[in-house]
Structure 1
Amino acid sequence: MKALTWHGKGDIRCESVADPSIEDDRDIIIRVTACAICGSDLHLMDGYMPTMKTGDVLGHETMGVVEEVGRAHSKFKHGDRVVVPFNLSCGECFFCQKQLYSLCDRSNRNADQAAKVMGQSPAGLLGYSHMLGGYAGGQAEYLRVPFADVGPIRVPDELDDEQVLFLSDIFPTGYMAAENADIEPGDTVAIWGCGPVGQFAIQSAWMLGAGRVIAIDRVPERLAKAREHGRAETLDFSQVDIYDALMEMTGGRGPDRCIDCVGTESNPTGSFDSALDQVKAALFLGTDRPHVLREAIFCCRKGGTISIPGVYVGLLDKVPFGPAMNKGLTFKMGQTHTQRYLEPLLQKVVSREIDPTFVITHRAGLEAGPDLYKTFRDKQDGCIKVVMKPGL
Structure 2
Amino acid sequence: MKKPVYLDYAATTPVDPAVAEEMIKYLTPDGFFGNPASRSHGFGWQAEAAVEAARGQVASLIHADPREIVWTSGATESDNLAIKGAVAGRDKAHIITSVIEHKAVVDTCKWLEARGVEVTWLEPGSDGVIQPQQVFDALKPETILVSLMLVNNELGCVTDISTIGAELRARGVLFHVDAAQAAGKIAVDVATMPVDLMSLSGHKVYGPKGVGALYVRRSPDVRIEAQIHGGGHERGMRSGTLPTHQVVGMGKAFAISELGLVDEIRKLEALRAEFLGGLEGLSGVSLNGSETCRVPGIMNLSFEGVDAESLMLGLRQLAVSSGSACASATIEPSYVLRGIGLSEELAHRALRFSIGRFTTSEEIAFASAQIVDVVTRLRAVR
Band the TM-score falls in, shorter-chain normalisation: 0.3 to 0.5
Structure showing greater Rg: 2
Q: Which has the higher contact order (CA 8 A, sep 6+)?
A: 2
More strand by share: 1
More helix by share: 2
TM-score by length of 1: 0.35
TM-score by length of 2: 0.35
